[in-house]
Amino acid sequence: MKRVLLSVFFLWAFGGVAFEVNLLEVDLQARPGAVLAFSFLVRNELAQPEQIVLYLGDWDRDEFGENRFYEPGTVSRSAAAWTRVAPTSFVLAPGEVREIQGTVQVPADIPPGTYWTIVFVQGEPRLVPYQGVLVTVTRRIGIKIYVTVEPAEVRGELRGLEVRGLNPLWAWVKFANAGTRNLREVRASLRVIDVQGRTVAEVAASPVPCLPGAARWIRVDTAFRPEPGVYQVLATVDYGGEALLGLTLRLVVRPLNLLPLGEGWGVPQDLDGDGFYEDLNGDGVFDEVDLDVFARNLAHPVVRANFRAFDFNNDGVVDEGDLAALEALLRAARAKSPPQG
Ligand SMILES: [Ca+2]
Ligand SMILES: [Ca+2]
Ligand SMILES: [Ca+2]
């Protein structure tokens, strides 16, 4: 399946600014001193000629998996200095396809492990109408090149487990690639066990890649809405090594202990039974007054002690993000049943 790794500016928002490549990743196995070849195709999808330039860059990912791009030679395991592509500048006629040849000259004295770079294929800047104005859009696609010199080491570490939202429960699992091999599929899963030893939730997250030396927070979502009680939360990670990695934590979900947030108000109520207490002033109605009460009481001791009742965006803390989420809930409720009169 074709995945687009990078776009510049708003490129997907526009039609008519398009060239395509036939692959987005090249995964090469090598010995020190080897010369490797790869190739890919670039096709002009426009009805006009397109000037194309190719150049190399470095990249990695942040701890949440977002790509970051750098000048070549920036990352310590960069393969940019060994990689060449040709041609690097040409004009493609409408519908024309050009094959790009790449070579990787692996240094003879390189230690084992995965090295990587990226080939950028960039079009020419074009003026495109966008919301009534003309903006300059440059199309750029990146083709990631991985070069693995054997014997690369497969080693992983499980560095953290944090339960965040409780309605439903989800957690961050922190994995680190402590070896030298690129890990294409790191699979995290989560199991929740109650005090009777019963498994009450068990889910696997989608696999994520992790570069050597990189760490990655992997989000694992469950559909489990815990009742007050004590649970064991067990995270496991299968990264392709000999053994699974595991980490557990004890999760205590305390009963709610709600009180009025101010003089003359009622106890906050959950009017629809979803575990979120949207009726902040406890008058049996969910409306703008509740937004106002919440906005003025985000740091109220009752709110803080019962955070899961007011964590409307389910991220594990109560803050302005929950005010926005509560507003969205009110809009949704209004859309479903508009107020009478
Ligand atoms: Ca509710
Ligand atoms: Ca209310
Ligand atoms: Ca929140």
pLDDT in tens, 71-100: 999 999 999 999 999 999 999 999 999 999
Same domain as 181, residue 83: no
Q: How many CB atoms are located within 10 Å of the residue 281 CB?
A: 23
How do residues 302-331 score in pLDDT, each as one tens digit?
999 999 999 999 999 999 999 999 999 999
Residue 35 lies in a domain: yes
CA separation for the pair 208, 186 (Å, rounded)? 5
**2, pLDDT greater than 50:** no
Residue 1 binned pLDDT confidence (cut-offs 50, 70, 90): very low
Q: For residue 325, which ligand has an atom nearest its CA?
A: 3
Same domain as 28, residue 143: yes
Same domain as 183, residue 266: no
Q: For residue 314, which ligand has an atom nearest its CA?
A: 3
Same domain as 333, residue 216: no
Q: State which residues form the domain around 107.
A: 11-149
Q: Which of 237, 253, 269 is the last residue of a domain?
A: 253
Residue 132 binned pLDDT confidence (cut-offs 50, 70, 90): confident
Average pLDDT, whole number, for the chain?
A: 93
Is the overall model pTM greater than 0.85, yes or no? Answer: yes
Q: For residue 333, which ligand has an atom nearest its CA?
A: 1
Which of 9-13, 35-39, 256-260, 323-327 is the least confident region? 9-13
3-state helix, strand, coil in the chain (%, to 5): 10, 45, 45
Find, among 206, 177, 174, 214, the residue nearest to 61 by Cα. Answer: 214
Q: For residue 272, which ligand has an atom nearest its CA?
A: 1
Please say whether the dihedral angle defined by the alpha carbons of residues 325, 328, 333 and 336, taken in this order, is positive or negative. negative
Residue 178 lies in a domain: yes
Same domain as 35, residue 135: yes
Same domain as 17, residue 132: yes
Q: For residue 280, which ligand has an atom nearest its CA?
A: 2
Query: Tell me, what's the pLDDT at 338?
Result: 76
How far is ligand 3, taken at its centre, from the CA of residue 275, in Å? 14
Residue 2 lies in a domain: no
How far is ligand 3, taken at its centre, from the CA of residue 313, in Å? 5
Same domain as 133, residue 15: yes
Q: For residue 321, which ligand has an atom nearest its CA?
A: 3
Q: For residue 307, which ligand has an atom nearest its CA?
A: 3
**167, pLDDT greater than 60:** yes
Return the ∠ at Cα 171 (arms to 169 and 175), rounded to 5°: 160
Contact 155, 241 (CB under 8 A): yes
Q: Which of 230, 253, 276 is the last residue of a domain?
A: 253
**67, pLDDT greater than 50:** yes
CB-based contacts of 57, cutoff 8 Å, min separation 6: 69, 70, 71, 72, 80, 117, 118, 120, 142
Query: Tell me, what's the pLDDT at 70?
Result: 98
Find, among 43, 64, 39, 62, the residue nearest to 52 by Cα. Answer: 43
Same domain as 227, residue 100: no
Q: How many domains does the chain have?
A: 3
Residue 1 lies in a domain: no
Residue 3 lies in a domain: no
Same domain as 30, residue 61: yes
How far is ligand 3, taken at its centre, from the CA of residue 215, in Å? 25
Residue 31 binned pLDDT confidence (cut-offs 50, 70, 90): very high
Q: For residue 312, which ligand has an atom nearest its CA?
A: 3
How far is ligand 1, taken at its centre, from the CA of residue 282, in Å? 12
Query: Tell me, what's the pLDDT at 17?
Result: 56
Residue located via tokens 């010995």:
31
Contact 183, 176 (CB under 8 A): no
Residues in the chain, total:
341
Find, among 309, 315, 274, 284, the residue nearest to 294 by Cα. Answer: 309
Helix (H, G, I), strand (E, B) or coil at 5: coil
How far is ligand 2, taken at its centre, from the CA of residue 275, in Å? 16
Q: For residue 315, which ligand has an atom nearest its CA?
A: 3
Which residues is 201 bridged to in the sheet?
Answer: 192
How far is ligand 2, taken at its centre, from the CA of residue 223, in Å? 28
How far is ligand 2, taken at its centre, from the CA of residue 333, in Å? 13
What percent of the chain has pLDDT above 90?
Answer: 85
Same domain as 82, residue 113: yes
Residue 6 lies in a domain: no
Residue 128 binned pLDDT confidence (cut-offs 50, 70, 90): confident
Same domain as 114, residue 56: yes
Q: For residue 323, which ligand has an atom nearest its CA?
A: 3
How far is ligand 2, taken at its centre, from the CA of residue 269, in Å? 8
Query: Tell me, what's the pLDDT at 340?
Result: 67
The order of strands in the sheet holding 19-21 is 19-21, 35-44, 97-105, 83-86
* CATH code for the domain in which residue 84 is found: 2.60.40.10
Residue 131 binned pLDDT confidence (cut-offs 50, 70, 90): confident
Residue 137 binned pLDDT confidence (cut-offs 50, 70, 90): confident
Q: Which of 212, 238, 253 is the last residue of a domain?
A: 253
How far is ligand 2, taken at its centre, from the CA of residue 293, in Å? 9
Find, among 338, 339, 340, 302, the residue nearest to 318 by Cα. Answer: 302
Same domain as 221, residue 323: no
Q: What number is the average pLDDT over the span 6-10?
A: 38
CA separation for the pair 204, 184 (Å, rounded)? 16
Residue 336 binned pLDDT confidence (cut-offs 50, 70, 90): confident
**4, pLDDT greater than 70:** no
How far is ligand 3, taken at its centre, from the CA of residue 204, in Å? 24
Residue 27 lies in a domain: yes
Residue 5 lies in a domain: no
**341, pLDDT greater than 80:** no
Strand runs (DSSP E) across the chain, as ranges?
A: 19-21, 25-30, 35-44, 50-61, 67-70, 83-86, 89-92, 97-105, 113-122, 126-130, 133-137, 140-149, 156-166, 169-177, 183-193, 199-204, 208-210, 215-221, 229-238, 245-253
How far is ligand 3, taken at its centre, from the CA of residue 319, in Å? 6
